[in-house]
Chain A
Amino acid sequence: MSEKAIKRENASEESAAMRPAVNVVEDATGITLYADLPGVPKEKLSIHVEGDNLILEGELEINSPPNTEAIHAEVDLSRYRRVFTLSRELDGDKVSAEFRHGMLKLRIPKAEHAKPRRIVVQTT
């Protein structure tokens, strides 16, 4: 069975969806997530936080001419979906997003108390 077919089975809880490729980078003040969502217009993108889960969803909108006959399709589903679990030190209320040319950039800051603090060693 191809990898694609397996992925599709896993996603069958709801309607089948593609898993967007992501890059996740962490620095001292938070996490930046980049997701590939080609074909999704801004108004069809949805990002929400439910409890500990960050849910990314997007619907593709490809305006092909009405009488197009598909010959070859590597992108054969019409939506993307991927869920991430946020750890406690991340502030799900302060997520900010930019979306350009099918690429999403999400910034999830760390909660103030979780940011690294440098402890100054005092000499007596």
Chain B
Amino acid sequence: MHYRGIFPRDLFSELERLQREFDGSPSIRGAAPGYPAMNVGTTPKSVEVYAFAPGMTPEEFDVQVENGVLTISGERKNIVPPEGATIHIGEHFSGRFRRVVSLPDDIEPNSTTASYRDGVLHVCVARREAAQSRRISVQ
């Protein structure tokens, strides 16, 4: 499992992590960002998470939102080479993976959608209406 806070309230844990890496004692889970690679963005209405996990089927992902945390997990099966074949390069990740993203406080966990396209899992978590800034017209 790889945990990395990405929202501003986690600034201190992020600094701590950077400090640890700088000290030459990286996490036992390795300093690499982990698999699958992830991008996260926000809009006033949603949190958009993209996980770059090719070669899967939609059913092979387990996506959960619980206690303000989004967890994406699954397993990437290894390509089994035919008997007698030689593996020259083997860079692909294989095996079980799990990544965790802490979400902001204003999310609406029940309206989360996920889709898988071109090898990218896209999870969209809606944010509460109240948190969206609204323009007040002056009478």
**In angstroms, how far is the closest chain B Cβ from the Cβ of A100?**
8
Task: Please name all residues of chain B whose beta carbon is closer than 8 Å to the beta carbon of A10 when the two chains form the complex.
Answer: none
Q: Tell whether, in the assembled complex, residue A71 and residue B41 are in contact, meaning their CB atoms are under 8 Å apart.
A: yes
Task: Please name all residues of chain B whose beta carbon is closer than 8 Å to the beta carbon of A102 when the two chains form the complex.
Answer: 52, 54-55, 118-120
Inter-chain contact count A-B, CB under 8 Å?
A: 118
Task: Please name all residues of chain A whose beta carbon is closer than 8 Å to the beta carbon of B89 when the two chains form the complex.
Answer: 22-24
Task: Please name all residues of chain A whose beta carbon is closer than 8 Å to the beta carbon of B54 when the two chains form the complex.
Answer: 36-38, 101-103
Residues of chain A in range 28-62 having any CB-CB distance to chain B below 8 Å: 28, 31-32, 34, 36-41, 61-62
**In angstroms, how far is the closest chain B Cβ from the Cβ of A1?**
13
B116 at the interface (CB under 8 A from A): yes
Q: Tell whether, in the assembled complex, residue B116 and residue A72 are in contact, meaning their CB atoms are under 8 Å apart.
A: no
Q: Tell whether, in the assembled complex, residue A37 and residue B119 are in contact, meaning their CB atoms are under 8 Å apart.
A: yes
A121 at the interface (CB under 8 A from B): no
Task: Please name all residues of chain A whose beta carbon is closer than 8 Å to the beta carbon of B37 when the two chains form the complex.
Answer: 74-75
Q: Which residue of A lies closest to B41 (CB)?
A: A68
B137 at the interface (CB under 8 A from A): no
Contact with B along A2-33 (1 / 0, CB 8 A): 00000000000000000001111111100110
- Interface size grouping (class) on chain B: 35 or more
Given contacts A23-B90, A64-B41, contact A39 B79 (CB under 8 A): no
Q: Tell whether, in the assembled complex, residue B79 and residue A25 are in contact, meaning their CB atoms are under 8 Å apart.
A: yes
**In angstroms, how far is the closest chain A Cβ from the Cβ of B120?**
5
Task: Please name all residues of chain B whose beta carbon is closer than 8 Å to the beta carbon of A21 when the two chains form the complex.
Answer: 91-93
Q: B residues within 8 Å of A by Cβ? A: 4, 6-7, 33, 36-44, 46, 48, 50, 52-57, 79, 81-82, 84-93, 116, 118-120
Top 9 A-B residue pairs of the complex, sorted by shortest distance between their CB atoms: A102-B119, A102-B54, A38-B119, A103-B55, A38-B52, A21-B91, A68-B41, A74-B37, A24-B89
